[in-house]
């Protein structure tokens, strides 16, 4: 028996095996929320949405459903664009969200960003009147992913029993997955300072076009490169190098500079309309399919993946 | 097409290579036309143009951007801030901006009053 938590924010991991356990672990949670008059959102992979809609029947009309494979394709945007946007839309009531950001098909390149996202939910929602329940597919996920879920969630529900996680340590997880990102063999680089910002953007756009990116996606990449390179000039020591290459049907673009990213929630806070600046990393998270970051005293690498 | 450009077309190619922004008053309506890019190097010129727009004593001010090839997020942010500071009933009409500008406006300032976008 543990002392009841005084923290308003509740963030349990739900371990499940198979559809029945999934429904048993989530549907009562949704129904309790609805009965208490709490706004409820369910952000899980598409096939799971169908399962929950059908299990809920008529009650499904009161729930906001979001396909996490789309909205949360880039885990870096789940906090601002999925979780906070729903919580902030209901400032006067407690909200319930089911968020499933990690599924068996997530690649090894995506996974570190997924775990860091799960860890950062805790500080992003500290003091907020909300419950975010995160289902974990015990049958499909790796042992490491399940172990990490204990470190990113203060509370764990397994086989219907809830207990405090003995290994909860979200800051350590963020640090452990702050993995070095060595320069890719295929990467072409361009060193820039303030005077070369436009040229750095053209450099990436020209190569991205050659790799098959076009239209809106190409425009988006130009915006992303402008934000990252401008950040290097303004906050990252004044200069940097941008690299670009193609990898597994994606264009990958990264910016390296001598600065250190001290705020782990940078790019994950929604921006109020009256705020003048500070949208650069948020935009990068919104417009790309994956962002990986390595930062430390020796510098920062921000690597973005964009589907062609 | 605006006649002013026919007489003296903006040199977009040099703007592209140097990241410059040229701005001048519109000849046939209240407002300004710009050519080039809005980025860190041209932010001051851009913000000065927006300040001038905000000072015009007309209901609708025009900002013609058909020869602008790129606007970064800070540039869109400056526009949104200028629009939010306009008195009730006044607005900035953005004509033919780069498509990404409309998307960034929708992304961070959905339903923003004070700005009307006429797409390319």
pLDDT tens string B36-91: 999 999 999 999 999 999 888 899 999 999 999 999 999 999 999 999 999 999 99
Helix (H) or strand (E) holding B60: strand B60-71
Which sign does the torsion angle of CA B6, B10, B16, B17 carry?
positive
Determine the residue of chain A that is closest to B78 in CA distance: A276
Pairwise CB contact (< 8 Å): B73 & A226: yes
CA dihedral A225, A226, A229, A234 (to 10 degrees): -160
| Domain spanning A12-176: CATH superfamily | P-loop containing nucleotide triphosphate hydrolases (3.40.50.300)
CA A43 to chain centre: 12
Chain B residues near residue A220 by CB distance under 8 angstroms: 100
Q: Calculate mean pLDDT across residues B92-108.
A: 95
Partner residue facing B72 (CB), from A199, A202, A227: A227
Residue A84 in contact with partner chain B when CB distance is under 8 A: no
Name the minimum distance, in Å, from the CA of A268 to any CA of chain B: 13
pLDDT tens, A234-271?
A: 999 999 999 999 999 999 999 999 999 999 999 999 99
Provide φ and ψ at A276, rounded to 5°.
-80, -55
User: Do A12-176 and A188-307 have matching folds?
Assistant: no
Q: pLDDT at position A274, please?
A: 84
Question: How is chain A split into domains, by residue range?
Answer: 12-176, 188-307
User: In whole numbers, what is the pLDDT of chain A averaged over residues?
Assistant: 96
Ranking A80-89, A179-188, A198-207, B50-59 by mean pLDDT, the lowest is B50-59
Pairwise CB contact (< 8 Å): B108 & A279: yes
- Chain B residues whose C-beta is within 8 A of a chain A C-beta are 16-19, 37, 39-41, 70, 72-74, 77-78, 80-81, 84, 98-100, 103-104, 107-109, 112
Determine the residue of chain A that is closest to B71 in CA distance: A223
Question: In chain A, what percentage of residues exceed pLDDT 90?
Answer: 95
Q: pLDDT at position B7, please?
A: 41
- Does pLDDT of A5 surpass 70? no
Pairwise CB contact (< 8 Å): A197 & B39: yes
**Residue A44 falls in which region: left (phi positive, over 0), alpha (psi -120 to 50) or beta:** beta
Whose tokens are 């425009």? That residue is A219
Name the minimum distance, in Å, from the CA of B88 to any CA of chain A: 16
Q: In 3D, which of B60, B70, B57 has the Cα closest to residue B97?
A: B70
- Does pLDDT of B10 surpass 70? no
> Does the domain formed by A188-307 have CATH 3.30.565.10?
yes
Give the HSE-up count for residue A238: Cα atoms under 13 Å, Cβ half-sphere. Answer: 0
Chain A residues near residue B39 by CB distance under 8 angstroms: 197-198, 201, 226, 230
Distance CA B47, CA A159 (A): 59
Name the minimum distance, in Å, from the CA of A304 to any CA of chain B: 17
pLDDT-derived band at A6 (thresholds 50, 70, 90) equals low
Ranking A1-10, A239-248, B25-34, B108-117 by mean pLDDT, the lowest is A1-10
Pairwise CB contact (< 8 Å): A220 & B81: no
Residue A216 in contact with partner chain B when CB distance is under 8 A: yes
Chain B residues near residue A201 by CB distance under 8 angstroms: 39, 70
A93 DSSP assignment: S
Determine the residue of chain B that is closest to A278 in CA distance: B74
Whose tokens are 């000072």? That residue is B55
Better pLDDT: A231 or B19: A231
Q: What domains are there in chain B, each with its CATH number?
A: 3-118 (3.30.750.24)
Pairwise CB contact (< 8 Å): B40 & A194: yes
Mutate to test the interface with B, among A80, A81, A220, A226 (most CBs of B within 10 A): A226
Better pLDDT: B86 or B6: B86
- Interchain CB contacts (distance < 8 Å): A and B: 68
- Strand-pair partners of A246: A251
Residue A202 in contact with partner chain B when CB distance is under 8 A: yes
Question: In chain A, what percentage of residues exceed pLDDT 70?
Answer: 98
Q: pLDDT at position B2, please?
A: 38
């Amino acid at each position: 028996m543990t002392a009841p938590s005084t923290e308003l924010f509740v963030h349990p991991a739900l371990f499940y095996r198979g559809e029945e356990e999934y429904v048993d672990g989530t549907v009562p949670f949704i129904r309790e929320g609805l009965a208490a008059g709490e706004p409820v959102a369910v952000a899980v992979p598409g096939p799971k949405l169908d399962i929950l809609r059908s299990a809920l029947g008529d009650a499904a009309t009161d729930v906001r459903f979001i396909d996490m494979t789309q909205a949360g394709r880039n885990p870096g945007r789940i906090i601002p664009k999925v979780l906070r946007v729903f919580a902030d839309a209901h400032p006067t009531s407690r909200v319930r969200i089911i968020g499933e950001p990690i599924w068996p098909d997530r690649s090894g390149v995506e996974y570190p960003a997924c775990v860091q996202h799960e860890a950062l939910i805790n500080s992003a929602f500290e003091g907020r009147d909300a419950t975010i329940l995160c289902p974990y597919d015990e049958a499909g996920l790796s042992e490491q992913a399940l172990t990490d879920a204990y470190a990113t969630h203060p509370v764990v529900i397994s086989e219907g029993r809830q207990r405090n996680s003995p290994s909860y340590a979200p800051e350590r997880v963020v640090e452990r997955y702050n993995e070095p990102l060595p320069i890719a063999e295929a990467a072409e680089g361009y060193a820039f300072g303030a005077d070369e910002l436009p040229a750095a953007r053209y450099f990436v756009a020209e190569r991205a076009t050659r790799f098959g990116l076009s239209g809106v996606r190409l425009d988006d990449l130009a915006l992303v490169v402008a934000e990252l390179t401008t950040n290097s000039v303004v906050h990252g020591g004044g200069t940097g190098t941008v690299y670009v290459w193609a990898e597994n049907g994606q264009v990958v673009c990264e910016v390296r500079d001598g600065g250190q990213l001290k705020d782990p929630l940078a790019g994950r806070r929604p921006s109020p309309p009256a705020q003048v600046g500070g949208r650069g990393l948020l935009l990068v998270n919104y417009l790309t399919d994956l962002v990986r970051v390595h930062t430390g005293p020796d510098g920062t690498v921000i690597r973005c993946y964009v589907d062609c | 097409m605006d006649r002013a450009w026919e007489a003296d077309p903006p040199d977009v190619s040099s703007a592209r290579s140097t990241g410059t922004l040229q701005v001048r008053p519109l000849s046939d309506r209240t407002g300004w036309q710009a050519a080039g890019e809005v980025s860190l190097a041209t932010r001051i010129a851009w913000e000065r143009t927006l300040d001038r727009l905000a000072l015009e004593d007309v209901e609708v001010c025009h900002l013609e951007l058909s020869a602008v090839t790129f606007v970064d997020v800070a540039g869109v942010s400056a526009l949104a801030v200028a629009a939010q500071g306009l008195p009730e009933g006044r607005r900035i009409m953005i004509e033919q901006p780069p498509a990404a500008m409309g998307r960034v406006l929708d992304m961070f300032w959905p339903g923003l009053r004070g700005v009307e976008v006429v797409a390319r």
